[in-house]
Structure formats: C-alpha cells, structure tokens
A and B are shown apart, each in its own frame.
Chain A
C-alpha cells in the first residue's frame, strides 16, 4: 500500500481545495473551473491535461491570482502554499509570492516578453524586486541564469531584445526569468506548444533537468500527451472545468479508468497503424454556458447509461492516489 501512495506521509507543497473560478460574461456565468482539488509535492511534476477550454489555464492563473477581476472571480476554494491560503493574502503579500515562491511561464514566448526591454533587464527586474540585489549583482545573476538555461554566450545575449532571439531562445530566457529567484513551484502553461518539435524536446529536457537540480515542483499545463509522457510524474485530466481522472503517470497511461482519458490517448495518431481517420472523440466540447446534466462527458461517452445524466459522479478511488470521476470506472477501458 505504501508503494502505491508514495506521498501520503509527506505534506504537500501546494494543496488546492475545491477551487472554483467563474467569469461573468454578457451571456451568463461561465464556470471555467469547478470544484477542483489536487496537491503538488516538492520535487514532482504534475501535469494538468485537457482540450482547449477545459479550464486548465484558468486553474494555473487562479493559483497566482492572475485572473482578471472582473470579469473573473474566484468563487471559493483554498490554495494552500505550505499551509498558507493564498486566497486570503492581501495583494501586496501576493506580489511577494509571484515570481518568488511561485513562478509562471507561458505558451507564447514571442508575446510574453516585453518587446521594448532587453531580456537581461527583464530578468534583473525580478531579481532586484525579490532578492533586493543591486544592479551589478543582479546582472551577474542574470548571466548565470542564462547560462543555466544553456543560452550560448550569455554575456552578450543578456543585452538582446526579445525579437533578436529565436522562439526556443526566448522560451529559455522566459524560463531563466521565472527561475531566477528559485521558486518552490513553477507553473508552466503550454511551455512548448508554440515551438518547433525539435526545440520542444530540448526545452522539455531543460525543464526536467533544472527541476531536478533545483528540486522544485512543476505544474505542467498542456494538451499534448506526448509532453506529459515525457516528463510528468503524476497526471490530472480535466474536462469541462473538472478533474475527471488523476493518478500516477503509469497508472493513467497503462490502466486508465475514465472513458475521456481513453479517448484522449486513442486520438493520438500512431505511426504503425495506417488509418484513414483519427480516432477522435465523437461530439464536441460542451458549451460552457449550457453544460450537460450529470457527468459532463456523458453525451460523448460510449459507456454512458441512464444514470450518468442524472447526477454528477464524485471522484472514485481506483487505488492509492488514482481517482476517476466515472461511475463505470471498473468496466472502463
């Protein structure tokens, strides 16, 4: 039993309880994140997986309280960083968490760096803000960080503007900036999606290496199961704002217990099989303004029965820390 629940003895670094985030739109209230709970332990990579619009990015932004308010609103929940509820901090206290204890990198390295400042000044800014270094020390540290993310000749590159770097280099600079204050947790929101495939692999490897060196935790938000299988320790699958299945990587990939997870995995094209069509999940992602009753996935589910449309299923424990939000999880897959 202890082998199946490796983390049960430790206290998590970050614990999210019943996080619910909504947006007030002209057409009504959109619940982008509904009652999401998970925890991240020190030194592990947890991957949040799902299709676009499933609420995974909003979850990431909610953790740092970067949801624009209004129209956004964190309705309830707790975000406990080493026991401290981030939702109860003042804005000033929250500023000391951002970029310092929890950092975030984003999908588009092209647009996520300010075009009018050099990458050096953008990294130094973080260091001066949180570590109160003077300009000279900050510059030295920034060069060291650029070196650490394997940017060649960092002494020269530090004075480059973002547009002078390639996409991969820009994302490395972003990573250097995010990690400059040695955060406990890095939230990486689709960090490789905008990059070429070969660059993707390099950046992922870099992330994994630095994560192990520094012993920090990573919340990896992605829709790319290839990325997940490469570096994640644990996986949480999201659908329509909810976590539908969560567990260790091997359990989810080898012994999935939710039809949506299975659909996701089967929709990856395989090289060996030459098929005319991809195994896409039938139907569409539900309209967030008119979610189906009961299990949000039942209209697209091949296992759906009468009961599925009546009540939203809770998370069932499959074993250890493997959970599924499907009433037929035993029969699934």
Chain B
C-alpha cells in the first residue's frame, strides 16, 4: 500500500511537470502580449523594449519557464497588471471559489444519487421518463442562459439583489441576517453550477444501478429472503457506487472550469473571474499559477478517487 502511494505520488508529480510545461508554451505563444495590450500602439519601441526586459519577456522561453517556477516557489511572483504578489491575489479569492464549489458538489451528490437509484427502481415508469427528460434538459441548457433567467426571475419576485457574494450595504444587519444574506447570494450560483452535475450523475447512478441489479449476487440476496429495500440499499448500492466514486475526481475540475463563466455572470469574486481577467490581460504569472493550481486539484481529485475506490472495493484493496 505504501509502495503504491509512493509510486502514485511520483507519477502525479511527473504529470504535473508535463502539464505546466505544455500550458506554459501554449499561454506564452498565444497571440498578443502583455505589453501590446496594456500600452498604446504609439508608444516608442524603446519603452516597449524596456518593459519586455522588466517582465523577462526578452529571455528565451525555457528561461522564462524556470524563472516562473523559481519565483512561484520563493513567493516572488508578481502580477504583470498591478504588481501585487500572485499568491496573495489568488489567496484572497480561493476561499470564495471553494465555498461555491463545495456547496454545489454537496448539492450534486445528495440529490443525484437518490434520484438515480429511484429512477433505476422505477425503470420505464412515468417518473423514470420524467427523470430522463429532466436530465437531457439539464445537460443541454446553457448554464449562463439559465443563470440570467433565474437572476431576472428571482430579483423580480423577491426584489432582493443576487449578484456578488453579499449585499453592498450590510450595516445594521444582525449576525443572523448577515448569514442569511450570504446564503441567499450563494443559492443561485451553486444551484446553477450543480444542475449539469445532477443531470449527469443521476443518469450515471441509474445505469450503474440497473447493471448491478442484474448480477447473480443480487439474485442470491433475494434468495436469502432479504426484503427488497435491503437488497437495493445494501447489496446493490455498494456495488453500483464503485464506478461513481471515480466521478468524484472528474467533478472537481469540471466545477472549476464552470466557475469561470458562472463567477463572471454572478459577479462572484472567485478564482474563475480572476483567471478570466488575467487571460484577457495576458497576465502570464497569474494565468500560469491558476492553471497549476487547477492541475493540482485535478490530480488530487483523481488520487482521492483511486483511494476511495480501494475503500469501497475490497478486490482492489488487496492487490
């Protein structure tokens, strides 16, 4: 087990280095430069040259990469745009993004799995067909469109702002009211973020469940005289969840990608919006660092998925 963990960590590290090199090349070689974007085209070439020097853009690309790496780990990485430390900029926003994503993951798992099980048990009934319809709807509706629709509807109906993380004026609010205000602002974006996930995961749970209930050991469980509920929730569910835990790893990057759009729509001060603005400004240090953090999260997600797999499946545990 320890050996497996070490090997696994080693692979993860190699993958991470690969990701950072490839994304570095893509980002720095993409059209546009941080200087051309921030400056007037009429500025003298001399100043441009000086600025390129400041940003190390005159050095060969591999040197730039190692400089970035070194600065990232020594904490001396500064944004091109405002000169503030990158980690500080990210640090003040990462909590906001995590809050949003954790809430929507919780919504996804707590709704999608029971929904999927129920659909499987009631296969081809009205409820199941409704679930299928709803899932296709949830997967195909563009999130930003639905977001605007819900923003409009909610504001019209309740007359209370929904954009941002909190209301602008919270003076005179009791602590309970502040909490309620925060939850209110969290509600819409987390629901919107969760819709696609609920749709996909409930379908996945359903098909996994339907596959498992055809297995021989389910027949054995019935032949023992177990009531149907126990057959489903003890014998079938444990097996049906095996493939679902791997999804857990894939959901994390999905939510980070999704939050670029949703954070912009909801004016949510998170990493996604920061990344979006940094890409527009060709702010390489910020883009690259966020990229690396995302990659780390993806890899951690996969790693967690593999560990969970071993927890729920004894056949893997002993190999």
Contacts and interface: CB of A to CB of B under 8 A. Distances in A.
Nearest to A104: B223
A224 interface: no
Contact of A130 (B217, B221, B225): B225
A174 B216 CA distance: 12
Contacts of A171: none
A118 B314 CA distance: 9
A129 interface: yes
B155 interface: no
Nearest to B222: A66
B314 A163 contact: yes
Given A111-B217, A114-B235, A163-B314, A96 B225 contact: yes
Interface residues on A, range: 20 to 34
Interface in B224-241: 224-228, 235, 238-239
A207 interface: no
A153 B233 CA distance: 32
A98 B223 CA distance: 5
Contact of B223 (A64, A111, A130): A64
A99 B225 CA distance: 5
A1 interface: no
Contacts of A114: 217, 220-221, 235, 238-239
Contacts of A106: 216, 219-220, 223
Counting chain B CB atoms within 10 Å of each CB, the highest count among A66, A114, A161 belongs to A114
Contacts of A161: 314-315, 318
Interface in A161-190: 161, 163-164, 174, 177
B48 interface: no
B312 interface: yes
A112 B227 contact: no
Interface residues on B, range: 20 to 34
B223 A115 contact: no
Interface in B265-318: 312-315, 318
B318 to A, nearest CB: 7
A39 interface: no
Nearest to A187: B223
A216 interface: no
Contacts of B315: 115, 161, 163
Given A99-B225, A130-B225, A116 B312 contact: yes
B239 A125 contact: no
Contacts of B314: 115-116, 118, 161, 163
B217 A115 contact: yes
A182 B315 CA distance: 31
A210 interface: no
B219 to A, nearest CB: 6
Nearest to B239: A116
Interface in A269-320: none
A116 B318 CA distance: 12
B44 interface: no
A126 B219 contact: no
Contacts of B224: 98-99, 103, 125-126, 129, 177
B225 A66 contact: no
A122 to B, nearest CB: 8
Contacts of A233: none
A235 to B, nearest CB: 24
B215 interface: yes
A161 B221 CA distance: 16
A161 B217 CA distance: 13
A58 to B, nearest CB: 13
B220 A95 contact: no
A113 B220 contact: yes
A108 interface: yes
Nearest to A98: B225
A259 to B, nearest CB: 35
Contacts of A129: 224-226
Contacts of A118: 314
Nearest to B214: A68
B225 A111 contact: no
A97 interface: yes
Contacts of A92: 227
B239 A108 contact: no
A246 interface: no
A116 B188 CA distance: 39
B176 to A, nearest CB: 45
A21 interface: no
A220 to B, nearest CB: 16
Contacts of B215: 111
Given A163-B314, A163-B315, A125 B226 contact: yes
Contacts of B227: 92, 95
Contacts of B235: 114, 117
Given A161-B314, A163-B315, A111 B222 contact: no
Given A98-B222, A103-B223, A116-B238, A111 B216 contact: yes
Nearest to B235: A114
Given A161-B314, A163-B314, A164-B318, A112 B220 contact: yes
Counting chain B CB atoms within 10 Å of each CB, the highest count among A106, A112, A118 belongs to A112
B189 to A, nearest CB: 37
21 contacts: A66-B222, A66-B223, A91-B228, A95-B225, A95-B227, A99-B225, A106-B216, A108-B216, A111-B216, A111-B217, A112-B217, A113-B217, A113-B220, A114-B220, A114-B239, A115-B314, A116-B238, A116-B314, A129-B224, A174-B220, A177-B224
A-B complex: 9 closest residue pairs judged by Cβ atoms: A98-B225, A99-B225, A99-B224, A111-B216, A114-B217, A161-B314, A104-B223, A112-B216, A95-B225
Given A92-B227, A112-B220, 18 more contacts: A95-B225, A95-B226, A96-B225, A98-B222, A98-B224, A98-B225, A104-B223, A111-B216, A111-B217, A112-B216, A114-B217, A115-B239, A115-B313, A116-B312, A126-B225, A129-B225, A130-B225, A161-B314
